[in-house]
Structure 1
Amino acid sequence: MTSEGATEPKGYRALLPMLLSYAASGGSLVISSAAQLLTFAILARWLGVDEFSVFVAMTAVANIAVHLCGLGSMECLVRRVARDRTIYPVMLGHNIILTVASGTVLVLVGAFILPFFFSLSPDRVTNIAMVTVMLVTNIVLVRLIVLAEQIFIAHSDFASANAVVVGFAVARTVAAALACIVFSVSTVAAWVVWQFVCHLLVAMVCLHVLKRLGRPRYAIVGEELPQGLYFAIPFILRALRQNADLLVLSLVTTAELVSSYSVARRMLESSYLSVEALNRLIYPGSARLSAAGLHHALDRVLRVLAAATVIGVAAAVAVFLLAPVLPYLFGSEYVSLVGFVRLLCWVVVPLAIWSVAVEALGASGYHAPRAAVMGLGSVAGAGLAAWASWYAPPTGTLISFYVIETAMVVAAWGVFLHFVRRDRESAARQVLAPGEAGA
């Protein structure tokens, strides 16, 4: 059990290994982001506007569902295995059971509902089959591949985690290039098959590599079920918020504005990866330090805050400067793209700031308050984004982004500091209690 005296190394020399790990982790995510952007561009050009819009819409649905798959079980694996490696077999079995069970339900529900809204083939049976394959690919297989990455992070094997991230991104880019450029794939139905084969091969490689860490012990860890849900629900709500503005814009503005805005949003998500690289590196250590109280990790979290802010500003500046290049990738028809990207790129700074606080709450096991902050922020944000996008598109949409993320900074850090203070006071009472009893 971690003691209250748990500390981390101090000084610049002690930071060197972490900086090297961040460089590797950040580099892997940058490469992954670039590969994803290239994949996105290839599909946008070769599928065409109509087919690509269907692909984006179905992918958006899958992106929401994938957060439900596994019911948040990956977080407890990282948190608990980082503290105690011997619990890995049980936590792996817990993850596999929940991932397979929830993934099966999500695919079946989606296969029943989505064919009424999306047509990948004029034949009804073929359409259902293609929708099902796409859901299996983008929900179950994606979740298994991400699980492999998180397992390596839980074991502090960041090199292998980075290899999963980069390998997966590069594999998708190669698949898109082969399908579209070499074999002239121009429909979503044809691309679904290529995408499924690509994801399946990557998942099989990940499972093969993971064998060296040990076999799973199949059991449900009951106390982690609510923790997992607390962890997953905010991401589900956030995914809903991220699509509210796109949905409303598609009803009140032109296809070009919607398309350019969606690409700008993808650029914002890509720029945030530089901050995510830091958070994923810090999480296991924060989990160990905060085991005896969140106040033990305060100094570490404040240092991470400073680093995340600098990284966020640097990412925003880089995206701002590179924005004029994007029309060469996506096509000249994206008239509003550069303007949208340059206006949205600065959102990554408040996003980086509040993400540090919620990651620290998660690492310390405070998932209920973390879920409350992210969940309420997402619900309120979805409403504000939808209203602003309807009332004054697209200016209102852009303004709502900054209002939402700034409010999240205030809420997240307010909750974080509250629990730091509460844990410190609780520790002080425990120290005084023996003395009072002796008196």
Structure 2
Amino acid sequence: MSSEGITESRGYKPFLPMILSYVASGGSLVLGSAAQLLTFAILARFLGVDEFSVFVAITAVASIAVHLCGLGAMECLVRRVARERAIYPEMLGHNILLTVASGLVLVLAGAFTLPFFFALSPDAITNFAVIALMLVTNIVLVRVIVLAEQIFIAHSDFASANKVVVGFAVARTIAAALACLAFGASTVASWAIWQFVCHVLVALACAWALRGLGRPRYRIVREELPQGLYFSIPFILRALRQNADLLVLSLVTTAEIVSSYSVARRMLESSFLSVEALNRIIYPGSARITAAGLHHALVRVLRVLAAATAISLAAALTVFLLAPALPYLFGHEYVSLVGFVRSLSWVVVPLAIWSVAVEALGASGYHAARAAVMGLGSIAGAALAAWASWYAPPAGTFVSFYVIEIAMVVATWTVFLRFVRRDREQAALEYQAGIVHGN
């Protein structure tokens, strides 16, 4: 059997539609990021350092749990539907079942555990209810809204996916402005209600927008369960790694440093969106091209690497130059903010470089290898970040960030090139075997 499959076109003309899609996708993510940053700024200013640090802590817990919600079924939907549209009803039902089941477990576990660590109200029942509401909002409803975006991406409808991103971000900004500016919300408990209502309305709008794509067929696609877990576990471990330093800093430093550091982290995430915009439009096409072997997409991946590196450098420089303006947006009580943002701004470059490799591994279905390299990197990174943050806060935190991300570049590209070589050798053996049998 020959190594036939979809191959990457030579030259750059075939990439023109993709470039246009990137401009639209990148523009939507930039608008969405700007709206998210404005939301974050409104909350930081009106909640104050103490309340805002509590909000950040609970959100950090939810950001870990949200990757477990759905057990990685979204990636399976994008990969499978991009290759075969007819399987969409089964993959949608698969996602809904896993999201509801895992979301219920995560919300209940968090609602009974977090009240021992966070007091959002002096009344125990109210405290439980507010925390549960925040978990439903930031785990289940966020997962549902992101699922809508991924469904559109699976169908290569990037315009609708962009509308979900921008609409969600703008809706949260409007909710924050109404809650804080118009109605004077100044506590996490009061903001939690506004946040919940906002997310419910956005989720309903997404469900309405998806109605024309077909109804779900409820069943568990068993062969995709391990693939989904392989996909989600690295993100869970990475979220743990990303929040290990925040947890340690909250134990050994002041609320101002924790709050300023969390804003700097948000700025880093926002700058990475320019690279994510590229990855999200590349993924469906890569899934089709790699169906016959990862080596078919090597040229494509190297081109994406060059583009991602250039984009990340531009994003880092932009954040570095704009950092001095942030205190006017977030408030001058965040005295460490400018230095923290500038210290973290260049991390996006190695982050972008290794993300290209893991996206290619994911698109080709090599989730076990992808999970191994990301999981081990996150475990080692969590330990290093926690130790560095405890030993020399906050300078050690920043140094650990660069060490971890550069190490991930080496590890992920080593694994990626190994699988390219393996697929190429396997294809050659199959081709030779076909010639022998033909004779």
**Structure 2 counterpart of 1:291, one-letter code:** A
The percentage of counterpart residues that share the same residue type is 80
Structure 2: state its 5+ residue gaps: none
Distance 2:82 2:297 in 1: 15
Deviations, residues 214-273 of structure 1 (Å, cap 9, x unaligned): 000001000100000000000000010011111111222232222221111111111000
Which residue in the other structure is 2:136 paired with? Answer: 136
How far is the alpha carbon of 1:131 from its aligned partner? 1.2
Question: Given that residues 4 and 293 in structure 1 are in contact (C-alpha distance below 8 angstroms), is that contact kept between their aligned partners in structure 2?
Answer: no
**Structure 2 counterpart of 1:396, one-letter code:** G
Q: Does 1:198 align with 2:162?
A: no
Query: Is 383-392 or 117-126 further displaced after alignment?
Result: 117-126
How many aligned positions are there? 438
Distance 1:111 1:247 in 2: 19
Which residue in the other structure is 1:76 paired with? Answer: 76
Q: Does 1:308 align with 2:346?
A: no
Question: Given that residues 267 and 341 in structure 2 are in contact (C-alpha distance below 8 angstroms), is that contact kept between their aligned partners in structure 1?
Answer: yes
Question: Given that residues 5 and 289 in structure 2 are in contact (C-alpha distance below 8 angstroms), is that contact kept between their aligned partners in structure 1?
Answer: no
Which residue in the other structure is 1:362 paired with? Answer: 362
How far is the alpha carbon of 1:13 from its aligned partner? 2.7
State the TM-score, normalized to the length of structure 1.
Answer: 0.98
Distance 2:50 2:342 in 1: 26
Which residue in the other structure is 2:399 paired with? Answer: 399
Question: Given that residues 52 and 259 in structure 2 are in contact (C-alpha distance below 8 angstroms), is that contact kept between their aligned partners in structure 1?
Answer: no
Which residue in the other structure is 1:221 paired with? Answer: 221
Distance 1:289 1:255 in 2: 49
Q: Does 1:266 align with 2:266?
A: yes
**Structure 1 counterpart of 2:41, one-letter code:** A
How far is the alpha carbon of 1:8 from its aligned partner? 3.8
Q: Does 1:249 align with 2:254?
A: no
**Structure 2 counterpart of 1:173, one-letter code:** T
Query: Is 392-401 or 175-184 further displaced after alignment?
Result: 392-401
Question: Given that residues 4 and 296 in structure 1 are in contact (C-alpha distance below 8 angstroms), is that contact kept between their aligned partners in structure 2?
Answer: no
Question: Given that residues 3 and 430 in structure 2 are in contact (C-alpha distance below 8 angstroms), is that contact kept between their aligned partners in structure 1?
Answer: no
Which residue in the other structure is 2:175 paired with? Answer: 175
Question: Given that residues 286 and 363 in structure 1 are in contact (C-alpha distance below 8 angstroms), is that contact kept between their aligned partners in structure 2?
Answer: yes
Which residue in the other structure is 1:409 paired with? Answer: 409
Distance 1:338 1:129 in 2: 36
**Structure 1 counterpart of 2:16, one-letter code:** L
How far is the alpha carbon of 1:309 from its aligned partner? 0.3
Counterparts in 2 of 1:9-408, with a 5 A limit?
Answer: 9-408=9-408
Deviations, residues 251-310 of structure 1 (Å, cap 9, x unaligned): 222322222211111111110000000000100000000000000010100000000000
Deviations, residues 70-125 of structure 1 (Å, cap 9, x unaligned): 00000000000000000000000000000000001111111111112111221111
How far is the alpha carbon of 1:3 from its aligned partner? 7.5
Distance 2:232 2:103 in 1: 14
Greater RCO, CA 8 A, separation 6+: 2
Distance 2:371 2:291 in 1: 19
Distance 1:199 1:4 in 2: 46
Distance 1:233 1:8 in 2: 30
Question: Given that residues 268 and 348 in structure 2 are in contact (C-alpha distance below 8 angstroms), is that contact kept between their aligned partners in structure 1?
Answer: yes
**Structure 1 counterpart of 2:162, one-letter code:** N
Question: Given that residues 3 and 428 in structure 2 are in contact (C-alpha distance below 8 angstroms), is that contact kept between their aligned partners in structure 1?
Answer: no
Distance 1:217 1:288 in 2: 24
